[in-house]
Amino acid sequence: MIDPLFLEGIIKVLFVFVLISAGLIISTRNLSSVLTTYTVQSFLLAAVSFLLYLMDGKGQLLLLAGLTLASKVILIPYFISRIEEKIKIGRDLHFAYLEPTPSLLLSIGLILLSYTFLSKVFEGLPLSKLFFFGAVIGLSLTLMGMLVMFSRKKVVTKALGYLSMENGVLMFGLFVTELPFIIEVLIIIDLIILVMLTTILAVGMDSSIEEYRQKFRKLQVWTGVESQ
């Protein structure tokens, strides 16, 4: 049996790396780097889940680690890297509302906000410090993913922002809520993401939202009629 204190230490180190990856997703302009960072972030979450399994011994946690590894570390990055090969653009240089610098500063504020908020919510609950901190990081990861979604213009980065947001939900679920429920939700969310990705793949991800809508109209995807 491994010493739980040692495991807790490792989980804390992983928390630090999760935060680093979130910061990188917000500020990196290179598309393939964003994807790599997302893959690493998902891998870290799988590792956290596995370590929690070693601490608690609950089978669901192991299942969750396996599921995360298969879907978010292997399958989804594979899909997106295929897309990135197809669209032939290496960088996402356009930002709406916020450039990376203010986004990073804002995300410090978001972490602070989620801490203050959660400490009010969990007041009086018997949650250990590690679990509380995991919840704070989960919530801030969700908010930071949201920040990526609305500050980036290219669809592919928006999708990665969404995926990173979902990683935050997973993290929050790992440390706070009941597990069997969250596993089901996760599987459904993963499926939705896959469907979304394949849909976008069909039309073209190399565009901003406005261009994307034009492409949609041009193709008449919904009515099935080819445009002139």
Partner 1 sequence: MNTSFLLFALLNPLFALLAAPLYMALIRKVKAYAQGRKGPRLFQVYYDLKKLMQKEAVYSPTSSWIMRFTPYLNLSTLLVCSLFVPLVFVPEPAGGLGNIIVFLYLLALERFFTALGGLDAGSAFGGMGSSRSMSLAAVIEPTMVVAFAALAFVLKSLNLHHMFALTAGTVLPISPTLVLVSISLFIILIVETGRLPVDNPATHLELTMINEAMILEQTGKNLVLLELAHALKQFLLMGILINTILPVGLSTEIDAGKIAVSALLFLLKAGLLAIIIGLFESALAKMRLFRLPAFYVMAFFFSALTILIEVFA
Beta carbon of residue 40, minimum distance to partner 1 (angstroms, whole number)? 14
The stretches of 122-178 forming alpha helices (DSSP H) are 129-151, 155-175
Nearer to partner 1, 12 or 58 (CB): 12
Q: How far is the CB of 155 from partner 1 (least distance, A)?
A: 23
Shortest distance, CB of residue 115 to partner 1, whole angstroms? 6
51 phi/psi in degrees, rounded to 5: -65, -40
Reduced to 3 states, what is the DSSP secondary structure of residue 220? coil
List 95's β-bridge partners, or say none. 152
Nearest to partner 1 of 100, 204 (CB atom)? 100
Task: Provide the minimum distance between the beta carbon of 133 and partner 1 in the complex, in angstroms, as a whole number.
Answer: 5
According to DSSP, residue 74 is labeled I
CB 73 within 8 A of CB 138: no
Please identify, using beta-carbon distances, which residue of 95 and 212 lies nearer to partner 1.
95
Query: How many helices (H) does the chain have, and how many strands (E)?
Result: 9, 0
C-alpha–C-alpha distance, residues 198 and 165, integer Å: 19
Residue number with CB closer to partner 1 (61 or 118): 118
- Residues at the contact surface with partner 1, assessed by CB under 8 A: 9, 12-13, 15-17, 19-20, 23, 27, 99-101, 104-105, 107-108, 111-112, 115, 129-130, 133, 136
